[in-house]
A = this chain, B = another copy of it.
Amino acid sequence: MQKCPVIIAIHYTSYGAQWRDLLAERLTNCEIRLWPDWGDLAEIDYAVAWTPPDGLLRQCENLKAVFSIGAGVDQLLADPDYPRNVPLIRMTDDILAEGMAEYVTLAVLTLHRDLLRYLDFQRTADWQPLPQRYPKDHKVGIMGFGKLGQAAALALKPFGFEISGWSRTPKQLAGVESFAGLEQLPDFLAPLDFLVVLLPLTDDTQGMVNADLLSSLPRGASVINAARGGLIDIETLKPLIDGGALGHLWLDVHHVEPLPADHWTWAHPNVVVTPHIAAATLPRTASNLVADGILQMEAGQMPANVVEFDKGY
Protein backbone atom coordinates (compact mmCIF):
# COMPACT_ATOMS: atom_id res chain seq x y z
CA MET A 1 0.00 0.00 0.00
CA GLN A 2 1.06 3.55 -0.71
CA LYS A 3 1.40 6.11 2.00
CA CYS A 4 -2.15 7.42 2.49
CA PRO A 5 -2.49 10.46 4.70
CA VAL A 6 -5.80 10.56 6.53
CA ILE A 7 -7.16 13.55 8.38
CA ILE A 8 -9.52 13.19 11.25
CA ALA A 9 -11.78 16.22 11.15
CA ILE A 10 -13.63 15.64 14.41
CA HIS A 11 -13.36 18.54 16.79
CA TYR A 12 -13.80 16.69 20.08
CA THR A 13 -10.27 16.35 21.29
CA SER A 14 -10.29 13.12 23.29
CA TYR A 15 -12.84 11.56 20.97
CA GLY A 16 -10.75 12.47 17.92
CA ALA A 17 -7.68 11.03 19.64
CA GLN A 18 -9.50 7.71 20.11
CA TRP A 19 -10.22 7.66 16.39
CA ARG A 20 -6.60 8.46 15.58
CA ASP A 21 -5.27 5.65 17.76
CA LEU A 22 -7.77 3.09 16.52
CA LEU A 23 -7.24 3.93 12.83
CA ALA A 24 -3.48 3.90 13.31
CA GLU A 25 -3.72 0.30 14.55
CA ARG A 26 -5.46 -0.80 11.37
CA LEU A 27 -3.84 1.52 8.80
CA THR A 28 -0.21 0.95 9.57
CA ASN A 29 0.98 2.52 6.31
CA CYS A 30 -1.08 5.67 6.75
CA GLU A 31 -0.12 8.87 8.44
CA ILE A 32 -3.06 9.99 10.59
CA ARG A 33 -3.38 13.71 11.23
CA LEU A 34 -5.72 14.98 13.93
CA TRP A 35 -7.61 18.31 14.01
CA PRO A 36 -6.26 20.98 13.80
CA ASP A 37 -2.84 19.73 12.71
CA TRP A 38 -3.85 19.29 9.08
CA GLY A 39 -0.45 19.96 7.59
CA ASP A 40 -0.53 20.32 3.79
CA LEU A 41 -4.15 19.58 2.82
CA ALA A 42 -3.15 18.70 -0.73
CA GLU A 43 -1.42 15.61 0.68
CA ILE A 44 -4.62 14.22 2.22
CA ASP A 45 -6.07 11.08 0.64
CA TYR A 46 -8.95 10.39 3.04
CA ALA A 47 -10.98 12.43 5.51
CA VAL A 48 -12.86 11.00 8.49
CA ALA A 49 -15.24 13.74 9.42
CA TRP A 50 -18.18 14.94 11.47
CA THR A 51 -18.36 18.74 11.24
CA PRO A 52 -15.17 20.06 9.65
CA PRO A 53 -14.81 23.82 9.09
CA ASP A 54 -16.60 24.96 5.93
CA GLY A 55 -14.27 24.78 2.96
CA LEU A 56 -11.72 22.47 4.59
CA LEU A 57 -12.59 19.41 2.53
CA ARG A 58 -12.59 21.47 -0.70
CA GLN A 59 -9.00 22.41 0.06
CA CYS A 60 -8.08 18.71 0.17
CA GLU A 61 -7.73 18.80 -3.58
CA ASN A 62 -6.46 15.22 -3.97
CA LEU A 63 -9.08 13.63 -1.69
CA LYS A 64 -10.13 10.08 -2.66
CA ALA A 65 -13.07 9.76 -0.22
CA VAL A 66 -14.76 11.24 2.82
CA PHE A 67 -16.06 8.97 5.60
CA SER A 68 -18.85 10.36 7.78
CA ILE A 69 -18.67 9.07 11.34
CA GLY A 70 -22.47 9.46 11.76
CA ALA A 71 -25.43 7.88 10.02
CA GLY A 72 -26.47 11.30 8.73
CA VAL A 73 -24.43 13.38 6.31
CA ASP A 74 -26.48 16.60 6.36
CA GLN A 75 -23.90 18.23 8.63
CA LEU A 76 -21.24 17.72 5.91
CA LEU A 77 -23.40 18.71 2.95
CA ALA A 78 -24.33 21.94 4.74
CA ASP A 79 -20.88 23.20 3.71
CA PRO A 80 -21.54 25.18 0.49
CA ASP A 81 -18.03 24.27 -0.70
CA TYR A 82 -18.43 20.56 0.01
CA PRO A 83 -16.58 18.65 -2.77
CA ARG A 84 -19.38 16.66 -4.42
CA ASN A 85 -17.01 15.06 -6.89
CA VAL A 86 -15.53 12.89 -4.13
CA PRO A 87 -17.24 9.71 -2.82
CA LEU A 88 -18.86 10.26 0.57
CA ILE A 89 -19.41 7.11 2.65
CA ARG A 90 -22.08 6.98 5.36
CA MET A 91 -21.51 5.26 8.68
CA THR A 92 -23.65 2.13 8.87
CA ASP A 93 -22.24 0.54 11.99
CA ASP A 94 -24.79 -1.96 13.33
CA ILE A 95 -24.18 -0.48 16.73
CA LEU A 96 -25.88 2.74 15.62
CA ALA A 97 -28.98 0.79 14.62
CA GLU A 98 -28.87 -1.09 17.93
CA GLY A 99 -28.56 2.11 19.95
CA MET A 100 -31.41 3.67 18.02
CA ALA A 101 -33.61 0.59 18.46
CA GLU A 102 -32.95 0.74 22.22
CA TYR A 103 -33.66 4.43 22.46
CA VAL A 104 -36.89 4.27 20.44
CA THR A 105 -38.10 1.22 22.38
CA LEU A 106 -37.34 3.01 25.66
CA ALA A 107 -39.27 6.10 24.54
CA VAL A 108 -42.26 4.13 23.25
CA LEU A 109 -42.45 1.85 26.31
CA THR A 110 -42.10 4.84 28.67
CA LEU A 111 -45.09 6.56 27.07
CA HIS A 112 -47.04 3.34 26.49
CA ARG A 113 -46.74 2.30 30.15
CA ASP A 114 -47.18 5.82 31.59
CA LEU A 115 -43.80 5.83 33.33
CA LEU A 116 -43.57 9.64 33.26
CA ARG A 117 -46.90 9.89 35.10
CA TYR A 118 -45.82 7.30 37.68
CA LEU A 119 -42.57 9.21 38.28
CA ASP A 120 -44.69 12.33 38.83
CA PHE A 121 -46.98 10.45 41.22
CA GLN A 122 -43.92 9.27 43.13
CA ARG A 123 -42.94 12.88 43.90
CA THR A 124 -46.09 13.25 46.01
CA ALA A 125 -46.20 9.64 47.28
CA ASP A 126 -49.41 9.22 45.30
CA TRP A 127 -50.40 5.52 44.91
CA GLN A 128 -52.46 5.69 41.76
CA PRO A 129 -52.58 2.66 39.47
CA LEU A 130 -53.68 3.66 35.96
CA PRO A 131 -55.50 1.37 33.57
CA GLN A 132 -52.91 -0.77 31.81
CA ARG A 133 -52.72 -0.34 28.05
CA TYR A 134 -51.88 -3.23 25.75
CA PRO A 135 -49.53 -2.99 22.77
CA LYS A 136 -52.55 -3.64 20.55
CA ASP A 137 -54.00 -0.36 21.85
CA HIS A 138 -51.06 1.62 20.54
CA LYS A 139 -50.00 2.01 16.93
CA VAL A 140 -46.47 3.09 16.17
CA GLY A 141 -45.52 4.72 12.89
CA ILE A 142 -41.92 5.13 11.84
CA MET A 143 -41.27 7.98 9.43
CA GLY A 144 -38.01 7.29 7.66
CA PHE A 145 -37.77 3.58 7.11
CA GLY A 146 -34.14 2.92 6.26
CA LYS A 147 -31.69 0.92 8.33
CA LEU A 148 -32.34 2.74 11.62
CA GLY A 149 -36.11 2.91 11.14
CA GLN A 150 -36.34 -0.78 10.31
CA ALA A 151 -34.15 -1.64 13.31
CA ALA A 152 -36.56 0.30 15.55
CA ALA A 153 -39.53 -1.51 13.99
CA LEU A 154 -37.92 -4.91 14.54
CA ALA A 155 -37.19 -4.05 18.17
CA LEU A 156 -40.78 -2.93 18.87
CA LYS A 157 -42.55 -5.67 16.96
CA PRO A 158 -42.05 -8.52 19.46
CA PHE A 159 -43.93 -6.48 22.07
CA GLY A 160 -47.03 -6.71 19.88
CA PHE A 161 -47.33 -3.11 18.73
CA GLU A 162 -48.96 -2.57 15.36
CA ILE A 163 -46.20 -0.92 13.34
CA SER A 164 -46.17 0.96 10.08
CA GLY A 165 -43.39 2.65 8.17
CA TRP A 166 -43.30 5.60 5.82
CA SER A 167 -40.51 6.48 3.43
CA ARG A 168 -39.96 8.46 0.25
CA THR A 169 -39.71 5.29 -1.82
CA PRO A 170 -41.51 2.03 -0.97
CA LYS A 171 -39.78 -0.30 1.51
CA GLN A 172 -40.83 -3.81 2.51
CA LEU A 173 -40.50 -5.31 5.96
CA ALA A 174 -42.39 -8.44 6.99
CA GLY A 175 -45.33 -7.75 9.27
CA VAL A 176 -45.13 -3.99 8.88
CA GLU A 177 -47.52 -1.90 6.82
CA SER A 178 -45.52 0.26 4.45
CA PHE A 179 -46.47 3.67 3.10
CA ALA A 180 -44.51 5.72 0.58
CA GLY A 181 -44.59 9.18 -0.93
CA LEU A 182 -46.23 12.40 0.14
CA GLU A 183 -49.68 11.39 -1.03
CA GLN A 184 -49.76 8.45 1.43
CA LEU A 185 -48.61 10.51 4.41
CA PRO A 186 -52.10 11.38 5.74
CA ASP A 187 -53.18 7.72 5.65
CA PHE A 188 -49.95 6.73 7.40
CA LEU A 189 -50.42 9.31 10.15
CA ALA A 190 -54.19 8.98 10.71
CA PRO A 191 -54.22 5.95 13.06
CA LEU A 192 -50.95 6.52 14.98
CA ASP A 193 -50.53 6.82 18.73
CA PHE A 194 -46.76 7.25 18.44
CA LEU A 195 -44.94 8.84 15.51
CA VAL A 196 -41.21 8.08 15.49
CA VAL A 197 -39.21 10.42 13.25
CA LEU A 198 -36.07 8.83 11.79
CA LEU A 199 -35.84 10.69 8.47
CA PRO A 200 -32.61 11.88 6.91
CA LEU A 201 -32.31 15.67 6.93
CA THR A 202 -32.35 16.89 3.34
CA ASP A 203 -33.67 19.91 1.46
CA ASP A 204 -36.97 18.02 1.15
CA THR A 205 -37.33 17.06 4.80
CA GLN A 206 -36.13 20.29 6.46
CA GLY A 207 -38.98 21.50 8.70
CA MET A 208 -41.26 18.79 7.30
CA VAL A 209 -42.65 17.78 10.70
CA ASN A 210 -44.78 20.85 11.38
CA ALA A 211 -48.24 21.63 12.72
CA ASP A 212 -49.77 21.18 9.29
CA LEU A 213 -48.39 17.66 8.86
CA LEU A 214 -49.21 16.63 12.43
CA SER A 215 -52.84 17.72 11.99
CA SER A 216 -53.27 14.27 10.38
CA LEU A 217 -52.44 12.55 13.70
CA PRO A 218 -55.20 11.60 16.14
CA ARG A 219 -55.62 13.98 19.09
CA GLY A 220 -53.23 13.08 21.91
CA ALA A 221 -50.70 11.22 19.76
CA SER A 222 -47.04 11.60 20.71
CA VAL A 223 -44.03 12.39 18.53
CA ILE A 224 -40.54 11.01 19.13
CA ASN A 225 -37.68 12.61 17.17
CA ALA A 226 -34.34 10.83 17.32
CA ALA A 227 -32.98 11.87 13.91
CA ARG A 228 -32.25 15.57 13.36
CA GLY A 229 -33.67 18.69 15.03
CA GLY A 230 -34.08 20.42 11.67
CA LEU A 231 -36.78 17.94 10.64
CA ILE A 232 -39.19 19.54 13.11
CA ASP A 233 -40.51 23.07 12.84
CA ILE A 234 -40.56 23.22 16.63
CA GLU A 235 -42.23 26.59 17.17
CA THR A 236 -45.29 25.49 15.20
CA LEU A 237 -45.68 22.56 17.60
CA LYS A 238 -45.95 24.62 20.80
CA PRO A 239 -49.69 25.34 20.44
CA LEU A 240 -50.30 21.64 19.71
CA ILE A 241 -48.56 20.42 22.85
CA ASP A 242 -49.97 23.26 24.97
CA GLY A 243 -53.50 22.48 23.81
CA GLY A 244 -53.27 18.69 24.09
CA ALA A 245 -53.48 17.99 20.36
CA LEU A 246 -50.11 16.32 20.92
CA GLY A 247 -49.71 14.10 23.98
CA HIS A 248 -45.95 14.13 24.39
CA LEU A 249 -43.01 15.37 22.40
CA TRP A 250 -39.88 13.29 22.99
CA LEU A 251 -36.88 15.06 21.53
CA ASP A 252 -33.34 13.75 21.39
CA VAL A 253 -32.35 16.22 18.69
CA HIS A 254 -33.04 19.91 18.54
CA HIS A 255 -33.13 22.90 16.20
CA VAL A 256 -29.99 24.20 17.96
CA GLU A 257 -27.55 21.99 19.84
CA PRO A 258 -26.75 22.27 22.65
CA LEU A 259 -30.35 23.33 23.22
CA PRO A 260 -30.32 26.83 24.81
CA ALA A 261 -31.28 26.73 28.49
CA ASP A 262 -34.16 29.15 27.98
CA HIS A 263 -35.89 27.17 25.25
CA TRP A 264 -39.48 26.27 26.22
CA THR A 265 -39.06 22.56 25.44
CA TRP A 266 -36.77 22.05 28.48
CA ALA A 267 -39.47 23.18 30.92
CA HIS A 268 -42.61 21.83 29.28
CA PRO A 269 -44.28 19.10 31.37
CA ASN A 270 -45.16 17.07 28.27
CA VAL A 271 -41.80 17.31 26.54
CA VAL A 272 -38.86 15.00 27.16
CA VAL A 273 -35.48 16.47 26.21
CA THR A 274 -32.34 14.35 25.95
CA PRO A 275 -29.02 15.73 24.68
CA HIS A 276 -28.59 13.92 21.34
CA ILE A 277 -27.63 10.60 22.88
CA ALA A 278 -29.91 8.09 21.11
CA ALA A 279 -27.16 6.35 19.18
CA ALA A 280 -23.57 7.47 19.46
CA THR A 281 -20.90 6.24 17.09
CA LEU A 282 -18.56 3.98 19.01
CA PRO A 283 -15.00 4.53 17.76
CA ARG A 284 -13.97 0.97 18.64
CA THR A 285 -16.35 -0.57 16.08
CA ALA A 286 -16.89 2.35 13.68
CA SER A 287 -13.16 2.83 13.11
CA ASN A 288 -12.99 -0.71 11.77
CA LEU A 289 -15.60 0.12 9.14
CA VAL A 290 -13.68 3.23 8.11
CA ALA A 291 -10.41 1.30 8.00
CA ASP A 292 -12.08 -1.42 5.91
CA GLY A 293 -13.35 1.24 3.52
CA ILE A 294 -9.94 2.86 3.13
CA LEU A 295 -8.28 -0.52 2.55
CA GLN A 296 -10.95 -1.38 -0.05
CA MET A 297 -10.32 1.87 -1.91
CA GLU A 298 -6.57 1.36 -1.75
CA ALA A 299 -7.23 -2.06 -3.32
CA GLY A 300 -9.20 -0.40 -6.09
CA GLN A 301 -12.72 -1.17 -4.86
CA MET A 302 -15.56 1.15 -3.93
CA PRO A 303 -17.04 0.68 -0.42
CA ALA A 304 -20.77 0.21 0.11
CA ASN A 305 -23.00 3.00 1.42
CA VAL A 306 -21.78 5.76 -0.88
CA VAL A 307 -24.09 8.77 -0.57
CA GLU A 308 -26.20 9.79 -3.58
CA PHE A 309 -25.76 13.54 -3.54
CA ASP A 310 -29.00 14.25 -5.41
CA LYS A 311 -31.00 12.38 -2.73
CA GLY A 312 -28.95 13.77 0.12
CA TYR A 313 -28.39 10.39 1.82
Question: Which residues of chain A have a CB within 8 Å of any CB of chain B?
Answer: 95, 98-99, 101-103, 105-106, 109-110, 112-113, 115, 118-119, 121-122, 125, 127-132, 134-135, 154-155, 158-160, 257-259, 261-263, 266-267, 272-277, 279-280, 282, 285
User: Which of B113, B130, B266, B275 meets A102, CB within 8 Å?
Assistant: B113
Contact B259 A119 (CB under 8 A): no
Task: Select from chain B the residue with minimum beta-carbon distance to A108.
Answer: B106
Contact A282 B134 (CB under 8 A): yes
Contact A98 B275 (CB under 8 A): no
Residues from chain B with a CB closer than 8 A to the CB of A106 are 106, 109-110, 113, 115
Q: Which of A95, A122, A285 has the most CB atoms of chain B within a 10 A radius of its CB? A: A122
Contact B160 A98 (CB under 8 A): yes
Contact A102 B109 (CB under 8 A): yes
CA distance A113 to B226 in the complex (A): 14
Contact B110 A115 (CB under 8 A): yes
User: Which of B113, B122, B274, B285 meets A134, CB within 8 Å?
Assistant: B285
Residues from chain B with a CB closer than 8 A to the CB of A273 are 118, 122
Question: A98-B134, A98-B159, A99-B132 are known contacts; what are 4 more A-B pairs with Cβ within 8 Å?
Answer: A98-B160, A105-B105, A134-B282, A154-B158
CA distance A277 to B129 in the complex (A): 6
Task: Select from chain B the residue with minimum beta-carbon distance to A115.
Answer: B106
The minimal Cβ–Cβ distance linking A129 to chain B, given in whole angstroms, is 5
The minimal Cβ–Cβ distance linking A22 to chain B, given in whole angstroms, is 13
The minimal Cβ–Cβ distance linking A217 to chain B, given in whole angstroms, is 23
Residues from chain B with a CB closer than 8 A to the CB of A285 are 134
Contact A280 B118 (CB under 8 A): no
CA distance A139 to B156 in the complex (A): 21
Residues from chain B with a CB closer than 8 A to the CB of A257 are 127
Residues from chain B with a CB closer than 8 A to the CB of A127 are 257-259, 261, 275
Task: Select from chain B the residue with minimum beta-carbon distance to A257.
Answer: B127
Task: Select from chain B the residue with minimum beta-carbon distance to A285.
Answer: B134
